[in-house]
Amino acid sequence: MATNDTPARDSVIIYSGGLDSTTLLYEEQRRIALAVTFDYGSNHAEKEIACAKYHCKQLDIEHIVIELGFMSRYFNSSLLGGADAIPSGDYDEVNMKSTVVPFRNGIMLSIACGLAESRGLKRVLIANHGGDHAIYPDCRPEFVKAMDGAMQAGTYDGVQLAAPYTNLTKADLVRRGAQMGVDYGHTYSCYRGGEHHCGTCGTCTERKAAFIAAAVEDPTIYEK
């Protein structure tokens, strides 16, 4: 039984193994009963899943991988089309719009909500942040609010959506993670999915900038 010093494990986290969700995993570790990674056929899925398994093992958190192969077969996105389809350059709407996987978070949240209700859990955690808003519609505050309402209305126990980073920057997340001692060397962000981060795609440039802005040493190996 949980005490005042030991919160109940009442949450499911959508956990990719990337920098953002790893920060949230460590910050909420005492309340997380289950981490779920979705393999929807992205270029970097293998690398991210390996990182997700690593951190869940470190924290002794149950981790499952759910395959969503239909998305890579039927959805259009450069994130599903191989490394050469990913644009280089800044992390902005013009450059990164092709990487949008239509309604990805909506699909994953629906499944995570079902998992939460099936296990008697109260919350679903997602690590979207403020830098995503201009690019990804299913990371914006209005989406989070609407999805939270749909989840509560559509479950007997009123499963809630918690998205505590919605209005924070990626640099904010790096600072928080550094304070907790998160090993960011075991996280993966590159949309090209190579052995090391390419250093030139939008997610790599965003990652580099976040460590610089946070004044935290970047342990990432970049090809360029």
Q: Where are the domains of the chain?
A: 11-214
Residue 11: how many CB atoms within 10 A of its CB? 24
- C-alpha 87/C-alpha 47 separation (Å) is 19
Who wins on pLDDT, 217 or 86? 217
pLDDT at 91 over 80: no
d(CA 165, CA 207): 16
No. of H helices and E strands in the chain? 8, 5
Buried b (16+ CB within 10 A) or exposed e, 142-153: ebbeebbeebee
pLDDT value, residue 95: 61
Which amino acid appears at position 82 of this protein?
G
How many CB atoms neighbour CB 30 within 10 A? 13
Q: What is the Cα–Cα distance from 22 to 25, expressed in whole angstroms?
A: 5
pLDDT tens track for 22-79? 999 999 999 999 999 999 999 889 999 999 999 999 999 999 999 999 999 999 898 8
The answer regarding whether domain 11-214 maps to CATH 3.20.20.10 reads no
Pick from 55, 43, 72: nearest CA to 202: 43
* Residue 1 binned pLDDT confidence (cut-offs 50, 70, 90): very low
Q: Contact, 113 vs 157, CB < 8 A?
A: no
